[in-house]
């Protein structure tokens, strides 16, 4: 695969430092954080997938995140449940029935029907609604905090995929160099400059470099597969024909730590989660206080007593108490005696939850400030490491390698010295790749610690 030839944007502000490097190293270094060419061999940087676009797809498709979002739907349903008032109760039955017939012959059976209402007092319904709405906000903040962790893991996988692809390119470059040496040694062997043993050794070393390439190709494939785990489907299905865009820029390099801390305290998901938890705890405490008030019940009903017809004996004497039909209204008012309110358990628990939420908020604010300062220090340290590699280490390593190759072609160095120089240069470059990946991860961590959306 052809490699991009311009330095990555992350290092553009350090381009003067790279002017002294060998041309081949600049080409390889550019590949470190630039997207490799597509499968057709043509570089298409405009079609590549940046971290922001990748994380947007993760937010839309991640299965774990979708499962967490269902908790928001459940919490929103809780608002509807909280607004429900107590159902009225319908009651009907026999109001009175004479069980001793001789006492009242032909006595009528009175039936009654009525409805009862429970009157909520102490603002219970409003307190339930406030608690339910604050629970929705808390759930949303909890899901946002979960998404923050998903973004962090996905961004790390994205950076690792770029590092793995660049490492594969470096190993392929080393393999091509060893194959060139092996082919050159075949010519040198034919003219008698080297012996058969050295020719065989160069071929063996080329094959060993091939095994490194095979392993690096597997690592790059595994890194791309890991990208799919956050998407809920294969990466190629989400972004067909598009590679990760590894041309990174340091988005927070110009901001000072104090401004980042202020941003963090205003926008961090865990801070908002702690604030929402405190608001919900206070609403739950208000609900606990409201629930301590008793709810009276009003019963309204009608009692119907049928007509009682007169009964006469053989002498014409009235033997019962006749009566006309009666329809009577009943109204009762029941008030529970609040003996159970003498205990304060529910209120104590609710107030304890408020105190706990207050302490947790203070802890979260302190943790947010500490996270920003630690992430800022790590960011600066990794930036210094990258600068060190670009300013000195990479150039010196490649110059040693190029000099050893030239010396070997002239017969002034042994194959062992060349191999040592090649492996040393590869190790240095792979360490540089790791330093660059560490800096990208530190940048993402600093952005997240400051409440920013990860972007490279």
Nearest to 432 by CA among 9, 23, 25, 5: 25
Q: Each residue of 239-250: pLDDT tens digit? A: 988 889 888 777
Find the helix or strand (DSSP H, E) in which 19 lies. none
Q: With contact defined as beta carbons under 8 Å apart, do 349 and 357 qualify? A: no
Per the model's pLDDT, the better-predicted residue between 353 and 109 turns out to be: 353
CATH number, domain 9-85+134-173+216-271+367-449: 1.20.1600.10
Note if the pTM is more than 0.85.
no
- Once rounded to an integer, what is the mean pLDDT over residues 435-456? 91
Q: Each residue of 301-319: pLDDT tens digit? A: 999 988 888 877 778 787 7
Helix 257-267 to helix 345-388 angle, to the nearest 10 degrees?
150
Question: What is the rounded CA–CA span in Å between residue 269 and residue 58?
Answer: 18
Q: Domain spans of the chain?
A: 9-85+134-173+216-271+367-449
- A 10 A CB-CB count for 259 gives 13
Instruction: Say what the pLDDT of residue 101 is.
Output: 66
- Once rounded to an integer, what is the mean pLDDT over residues 36-40? 31
Nearest to 142 by CA among 279, 280, 269, 267: 269
């Amino acid at each position: 695969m052809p490699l991009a030839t311009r330095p990555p944007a992350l290092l553009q502000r350090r381009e003067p430092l790279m002017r002294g490097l060998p041309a081949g190293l600049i080409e390889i270094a550019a590949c470190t954080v630039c997207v490799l060419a597509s499968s057709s061999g043509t570089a298409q940087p405009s079609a590549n997938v940046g971290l922001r676009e990748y994380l947007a797809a993760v937010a839309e498709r991640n299965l774990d995140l979708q499962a967490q979002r269902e908790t928001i739907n459940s919490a929103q349903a809780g608002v509807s449940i909280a607004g429900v008032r107590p159902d009225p109760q319908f009651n009907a039955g026999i109001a009175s029935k004479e069980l001793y017939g001789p006492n009242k012959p032909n006595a009528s059976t009175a039936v009654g029907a009525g409805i009862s209402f429970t009157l909520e007092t102490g603002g219970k319904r409003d307190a339930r609604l406030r608690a339910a709405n604050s629970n929705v906000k808390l759930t949303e903040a909890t899901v946002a905090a979960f998404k923050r962790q998903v973004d962090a893991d996905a961004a790390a996988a994205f950076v690792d995929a770029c590092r793995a692809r660049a490492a594969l390119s470096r190993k392929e470059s080393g393999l091509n160099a060893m194959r060139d040496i092996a082919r050159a040694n075949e010519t040198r062997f034919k003219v008698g400059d080297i012996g058969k043993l050295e020719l065989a050794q160069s071929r063996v070393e080329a094959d060993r470099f091939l095994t490194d390439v095979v392993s690096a190709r597997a690592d790059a494939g595994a890194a791309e597969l890991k990208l799919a785990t956050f998407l809920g489907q294969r990466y190629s299905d989400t972004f067909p024909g598009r590679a990760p865009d590894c041309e990174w820029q340091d988005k927070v390099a110009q901001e000072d730590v104090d401004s980042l801390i202020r941003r963090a305290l205003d926008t961090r998901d865990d801070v908002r989660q702690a604030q929402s938890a405190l608001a919900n705890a206070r609403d739950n405490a208000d609900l606990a206080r409201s629930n301590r008030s008793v709810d009276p019940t009003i019963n309204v009903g009608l009692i119907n007593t049928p007509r009682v017809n007169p009964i006469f004996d053989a002498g014409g004497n009235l033997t019962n108490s006749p009566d006309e039909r009666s329809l009577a209204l009943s109204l009762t008012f029941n008030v529970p005696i609040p003996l159970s309110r003498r205990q304060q358990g529910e209120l104590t628990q609710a107030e304890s939850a408020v105190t706990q939420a207050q302490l947790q908020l203070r802890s979260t604010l302190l943790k947010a400030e500490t996270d920003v300062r630690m992430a800022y220090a790590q960011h600066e340290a990794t930036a210094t490491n990258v600068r060190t590699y670009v300013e000195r280490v990479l150039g010196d390593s490649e110059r040693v390698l190029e000099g050893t190759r030239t010396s070997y072609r002239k017969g002034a160095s042994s194959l062992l010295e060349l191999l040592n120089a090649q492996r040393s240069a590869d190790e240095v470059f792979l360490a540089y790749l790791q330093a660059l990946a560490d800096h990208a991860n530190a940048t993402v961590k600093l952005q997240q610690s400051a409440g920013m959306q990860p972007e490279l």
